[in-house]
Amino acid sequence: MLSQLSLYLSRQAASPARYVLEQALTGVFGWIPTPIGMAARAAAYRLMLRMQGIAAIERGVRIRFASHITLGHGAYLDQHVYLHACPGGIHIGRHSLVMHGSVLHVYNFRDLPHAGIWIGEHSLVGEYNVIRGQGGVRIGNRVYTSPMVQLVAVNHVFDDPSRPFIEQGITAEGITIEDDVWIGSGVVVTDGVTIGKGAVVAAGSVVTRDVEPFTVVGGVPARLLRRVGEGERPTALPVHFSQA
């Protein structure tokens, strides 16, 4: 029982003392609704994570390894977001938003050298996204992901048919998404991919190779559809949203 308890705690926080602190703070302040709750968390959560200014955290946000989380000024975490930031950490930049139900999960217990999740400024992670950062996920500035996007920077090795895949190890090359990228709903981006600046990924695509800057890709696997600026340009209305 003691060994199982020790293993559990090691997967939840940097130390048993940190676990007690983080559970106490989220237990006392994590449920409070309305802006009053966000104000309380903006003050109290500084005791367990790094805030560079004022960040807004809705109720019901789950946090593990809070000592490895950095929130930039104006960052916003919506309800039921889950951050698991074991070493390598999670950085969410200034005025970036992580929307309802998204999971940002580093979970690096293999000492992988590039593990972590880094999100730039003025970016938006859409509802129910899953970002797995064992190989490192770097997201630039003004990147928007639509609902149900998956960025999975880890892969299992399965080349030996005589052994179960769980005994063959993993690869973790990392994912990079450069500035000003828009990723449509339901997209899956696999490990080792770079999506270039200004690119657009159509909804439902599976991206298995690099995407050139200022291109539109789509399909399974994703392929080049056209370059940004080619073809008709429909009338566009500017989109604005208030930031926390």
Residue 147 pairs in a beta bridge with: none
- CA distance readout (Å), 170 to 10, 88, 144: 21, 17, 29
Out of 105, 114, 156, 240, the active site residue is 156
> Residues 6 or more apart from 98 whose CB is under 8 A from it?
75, 76, 77, 78, 81, 92, 104, 119, 125, 129
Residue 64 pairs in a beta bridge with: 84
**Annotation says 156 is catalytic:** yes
In angstroms, the CA 45 to CA 37 distance is 11
DSSP class of 125 = E
- Residues noted as catalytic: 156
